[in-house]
A and B are shown apart, each in its own frame.
Chain A
Amino acid sequence: MNDTKTPSSRPLSPHLQVYRLIPTMVASIVHRATGMALYFGMFLFAWWLFAAATGAAYFDWVNGLFASMLGRLVLLGFTWALIHHLLGGVKHLVQDTGRALEKHFTTRMARLQFVASILLTLMVWIVAYWVR
């Protein structure tokens, strides 16, 4: 009866999969996911700087990797992750002060955050292509 060696048979508290996905939930999960992606993306930035400091040949090689189709796709993803995480972070800072917590408003903000992050990402890339 009182078998403490089988923790798996204990009831579990409900986790993500039992709830219907709602925008604020998705925004929260994506905020964490983008944060984790950016963590590893920072290494790409460090690598790029290292290449620039090392020499022309190595820099051109690394730049070539980043400029490849896959490289561009990865960088596009990181641009979006950065902007989405930035917007989410600003939202968190506002909410830290006790504002903007009403449920319909937070739902609208979560939706807006996805739209805004995608539009801003496209803007950044259009400017980047336009500059060169």
Chain B
Amino acid sequence: MSMRTPLGKVRGLGSARDGTQHFWRQRITAVANIPLVLIGLCLTVSLVGAPYEEVRATLASPLTAIFIALFSLSTLYHMHLGMQVVIEDYVHGELNKIALIMLNTFFVVFSGALIAYAIFRLAFGG
């Protein structure tokens, strides 16, 4: 006989409210970040101090645009997960915690919007 409540069964969640999803996604993005960060470092180093036209041409090329999209998606997701854990660890007031967890999402989405705008404008804008 199961000791779980009917509601618990329906939700399929434990007391932590979610299972290994957070852990697993942190690892997926971590693995993805390894090559992405290494390529990103090379790209940045190659553009240090370069004139505007050269930077623009490099960032507008399809390969770079797609790379920056992948790099940003993976790192933004990873840092969202990481900051959530930090907030959960150190902020104990329920209201403050929920507010900061929301702010975390807003910050990540806003950064992502800035990057998305830049990628599109660089790649498609004249």
Q: Do A and B bind each other?
A: yes
Interface string of B1-40 (1 = CB under 8 A from A): 0000000000000000000000000010011011001000
| A43: Cβ under 8 A from any B Cβ | yes
User: Which residues does chain A contribute within 8 Å of B91, judged by CB atoms?
Assistant: none
Checking B27, B41, B46, B117 against A93 with a beta-carbon cut-off of 8 angstroms, the contacting residue is B27
A56 near B118: Cβ-Cβ < 8 Å: no
User: Which residues does chain B contribute within 8 Å of A79, judged by CB atoms?
Assistant: 41
Taken together as a complex, chains A and B put the C-alpha atoms of A38 and B114 apart, in Å, by: 17
B34 near A53: Cβ-Cβ < 8 Å: no
B83 near A89: Cβ-Cβ < 8 Å: no
Main secondary structure of the interface of A (DSSP, over half): helix
Query: What number of A-B contacts does a CB cutoff of 8 Å give?
Result: 83
User: Which residues does chain B contribute within 8 Å of A43, judged by CB atoms?
Assistant: 107, 111
| B100: Cβ under 8 A from any A Cβ | no
A124 near B118: Cβ-Cβ < 8 Å: no
B30 near A46: Cβ-Cβ < 8 Å: no
Main secondary structure of the interface of B (DSSP, over half): helix
Checking A52, A89, A92 against B56 with a beta-carbon cut-off of 8 angstroms, the contacting residue is A52
Cβ of A15 to closest chain B Cβ, rounded Å: 11
Question: What are the 7 tightest A-B residue pairs by CB atom distance, in nearest-first order?
Answer: A49-B118, A53-B118, A53-B121, A46-B114, A132-B49, A128-B45, A56-B52
Taking Cβ atoms with an 8 Å cutoff, the residues of A that contact B are 32, 35-36, 38-39, 42-43, 45-47, 49-50, 52-53, 56, 59-60, 63, 67, 79, 82, 86, 89-90, 92-93, 96, 124, 127-128, 131-132
For the complex with contacts A49-B118, A53-B121, 6 further pairs of A-B residues with Cβ separation under 8 Å are A36-B82, A50-B115, A52-B118, A53-B117, A86-B37, A131-B45
